[in-house]
Chain A
């Protein structure tokens, strides 16, 4: 048995979950998943992002993948795209670096300049 107040809570929670499916999110993380990206450990990078996001219960973040972008020597490459801000590209990513990027950049909005390989479009 639920009350109307319970219903409201369920609605809010479900809305958050559904927002993720549709891609209406504040921040988008794009992991390069070309052949060389995967060879350099992009799968591990992707997984770490997902774990960190789940651990922190972030509901406004989207993780998706893309193909080669021509920065083979810098793989795994990750783009962070935020509405109204220039795109930030991180290179040579590792699971440890991912954890730092999540804490600093995704949560607190401070770009981790040590790992940045490019910015802008």
Chain B
């Protein structure tokens, strides 16, 4: 075994790739070699490191020092000072240059517990971190029904937005006696501002694979598809690598570990339609058809892909399953609230000091998430509103900052947790502009299958454009509410049923702003 005295973990993600992390790593290797340190210090490419950093981020073990925004020009100093002489370069360290030191919430993690610690491209790392323990348990000590019972007991709810209990969904499909069933992973993360699934897949692809295998074993499926967003090039590359490693180890394929259970996993690259995040449209697209939703019922769990019973689950939902099976539902219930156990991964954007991701207990308030994990507001700005849940989400004003963020609590305020995106606005931002941008998005993404959505999204966009230009009246504002409500009641799928949430929350919570702009 090669012995290294120090390990530099470099976060590879879309942000750092854009900042030129590949060139950075090459330059770092060269500089280490020049100083004769190449044999002593190891460079590991890993996923998100778990702190809110900009640009290229590094964690250096064993000292556990975090750097952010490192540039190629900084390399000689880093190598001379830190890697050679052991003096960390303070000006590049996270939380030292700024007064605020963000919390690194490693203790309360389930889905991201390995992210930024293991090398996601190395199956051995995942195994070393306790990976595939759940698989072993499920294949040797548990019957498929035991897996479902455990997931049911854990109270795990779907993390894609609809919050349907996962164990219950599985039990419908598992009860059917048919020769072919499927598992489909919804990795077509299209909700604006949401990129949690990307980080889960980038940071720990094997965890998702293990979740899929457990789900397939529980419901009796022999084939699984990961329907992944086409722009997620790095995720695709890592998942392909992970699937190949799993086949090499006999974790996928025929007769897995002599249990008589077969499973194949295949990737399907999405083409970028928002509506394909809707499960039946996703299935249509998988079959090679145009991505438009199907009538429900029958639900996919009974009649899905090629008319076979199909489980469609979100990435984050499945990524929770290995933990539940390995550690037990009781351990999972320690996290979150009694109604909504577990954790939630959020992506925080907008006018906060440290935009990025965090994984916290269900039920953590919006205030805590913004202040503790995103460093509060950007210097000199005040909080005005947060768009929670992406375009199909709600706009929350400051008086709702202390609402607990979980599916049940938010429901009381007709709000939704949705996909876990939090977009924070400062006091200078216009809610009308935000709503305009959301409605423009819906107009663009409506698939055109049903009239309420096809015409409604167009009408809403026209009205908000008129209001935004200062030509609207309060009647137009009320008309928007009426249209959106009609769409909610009559649209074919969730896409047309969603704009009401943004429209109503914007108009109700920020009435003054609409009165002001329509007065002119």
Interface residues of A (CB under 8 A from B): 1-4, 7, 10-11, 13-18, 20-23, 25, 33-35, 38, 43, 46-47, 50, 53-54, 57-59, 62-67
Contacts and interface: CB of A to CB of B under 8 A. Distances in A.
Given A3-B257, A22-B62, A33-B84, A14 B132 contact: no
Contact of A23 (B64, B128, B132, B140): B64
B133 to A, nearest CB: 8
A10 B124 contact: yes
Contacts of B143: none
A10 B128 CA distance: 7
- State the majority secondary structure of interface residues on B: loop
B271 interface: no
Interface string B19-45: 000000000000000001001100010
B4 to A, nearest CB: 7
A43 B36 contact: yes
B136 A4 contact: yes
B520 interface: no
Interface in B69-127: 84-87, 117-118, 124-125, 127
- State the majority secondary structure of interface residues on A: helix
Nearest to A11: B127
Interface in B1-19: 1-7
B62 A54 contact: no
A67 B62 contact: no
Contacts of A47: 39-40
B3 A14 contact: no
A67 to B, nearest CB: 5
Nearest to B35: A43
Given A4-B140, A47-B40, A64-B5, A33 B257 contact: no
B136 A18 contact: no
B86 A67 contact: yes
7 contacts: A4-B139, A7-B249, A15-B128, A21-B61, A21-B62, A33-B86, A47-B39
A17 B118 contact: no
Contacts of A66: 86
Given A4-B136, A33-B84, A54-B3, A17 B40 contact: no
Contacts of A57: 1
Contacts of A25: 62
Among B39, B86, B132, B133, max chain A CB count under 10 A is at: B86
Nearest to B64: A23
B413 to A, nearest CB: 42
Contacts of B515: none
B450 to A, nearest CB: 50
Contacts of B2: 54
A43 B399 CA distance: 60
A64 B63 contact: yes
A39 B407 CA distance: 62
B7 A54 contact: no
Among B4, B61, B128, max chain A CB count under 10 A is at: B128
B1 A65 contact: no
Contact of B1 (A3, A17, A23, A63): A17
A26 to B, nearest CB: 13
B3 A64 contact: no
B129 interface: yes
A14 B63 contact: no
B250 interface: yes
A54 B1 contact: yes
Contacts of A23: 61-64
A14 B40 contact: no
A116 to B, nearest CB: 22
Nearest to B2: A54
A4 B63 contact: no
A50 B85 contact: no
Contacts of A4: 136, 139-140, 257
Contact of A33 (B85, B132, B249): B85
Contacts of A62: 5, 62
A63 B87 CA distance: 15
Contacts of A3: 250, 257-258
Contacts of B4: 20
B86 A14 contact: no
B250 A2 contact: yes
Given A17-B128, A46-B5, A62-B62, 17 more contacts: A3-B258, A7-B249, A11-B133, A20-B62, A21-B7, A21-B61, A22-B62, A25-B62, A34-B85, A50-B3, A50-B40, A54-B2, A54-B3, A58-B3, A63-B5, A64-B62, A66-B86
Nearest to A56: B3
B257 A18 contact: no
Interface in B246-273: 248-251, 257-258
Nearest to B7: A21
A10 B7 CA distance: 20
Nearest to A63: B5
A9 to B, nearest CB: 10
Contacts of A16: 1
B62 A14 contact: no
